[in-house]
Amino acid sequence: MVEATDPNTISTGNNTIDVSSPLYIHPSDSPIILLVQFVFEGLGYRSWRRGVIRSLSVKNKLVFITGKCRRPFLNSPQYRQWEKCDNMVTSWILNSLGKEIADSVEYVCDSLELWKELEDRYDQTNRAKLFQIQKEINDLSQGALDITVYYTRMKKLWEELNNLNVKDQCSCVCNCG
């Protein structure tokens, strides 16, 4: 039986879940939902990543891949609900990966480990990528392109370059002088 005690909570038997909690699963949520419009096959990681982050944020599940919603102790009353939500997030991410990539990360323990694995593997800023984008910016000319198309392409390249430059900056604290 479902009871409504507060507009932000749902009670089912002995469990009460706040609908604004990341542990709440909406009835329309399903493990087969696609988070993004395209499947990640190994190219375009940053665009794919942004789409996944947006989708998880909308679903109030971003905290699972940021580590802010940690696995509770096994004897915690929230453990089972956390596990269900984490499995849902893991399924969503796996469904948005190409088969080869999904197969290579299928046995991770949770969505946080899955996300870290993908970040470690595909979010590597390297000088070659920076050079490639800078070259594309230098080589881009309007030519026969409509001004809007030209501007859109240039803006995309600049945003990608800025995103790479931010990732490339050291954020460690050094006391070596």
Q: How many domains does the chain have?
A: 2
Is residue 31 within 8 Å of 92, Cβ to Cβ?
yes
- Is 177 within the bounds of a domain? no
Q: Does residue 60 share a domain with residue 34?
A: yes
Q: Does residue 131 share a domain with residue 67?
A: no
- Is 175 within the bounds of a domain? no
Q: Does residue 89 share a domain with residue 51?
A: yes
More confident residue, 52 or 124: 52
Write down the pLDDT at residue 123.
80
- Is 115 within the bounds of a domain? yes
Q: Does residue 80 share a domain with residue 145?
A: no
Residue 26: CB atoms within 10 A of its CB come to 9
- Is 31 within the bounds of a domain? yes
Q: Does residue 146 share a domain with residue 116?
A: no
Write down the pLDDT at residue 4.
46
Q: Does residue 137 share a domain with residue 89?
A: no
Q: Does residue 147 share a domain with residue 84?
A: no
Could you tell me what percentage of the chain is helix, strand and coil, using 3-state DSSP and rounding each to the nearest 5?
A: 50, 5, 45
Give φ, ψ of 130 to 5 degrees: -60, -45
Q: Does residue 89 share a domain with residue 12?
A: yes
Q: Does residue 118 share a domain with residue 138?
A: no
Indicate the pLDDT class of residue 166, thresholds 50, 70 and 90.
low
Q: Does residue 147 share a domain with residue 61?
A: no
> pLDDT digits over 80-138, tens only?
999 999 999 999 999 999 999 999 999 999 999 999 999 988 887 667 778 888 899 99
Is the whole-model pTM more than 0.75? no
The two three-digit tokens of residue 140, written as one number: 């881009």
Structural domain of 137 = 127-168
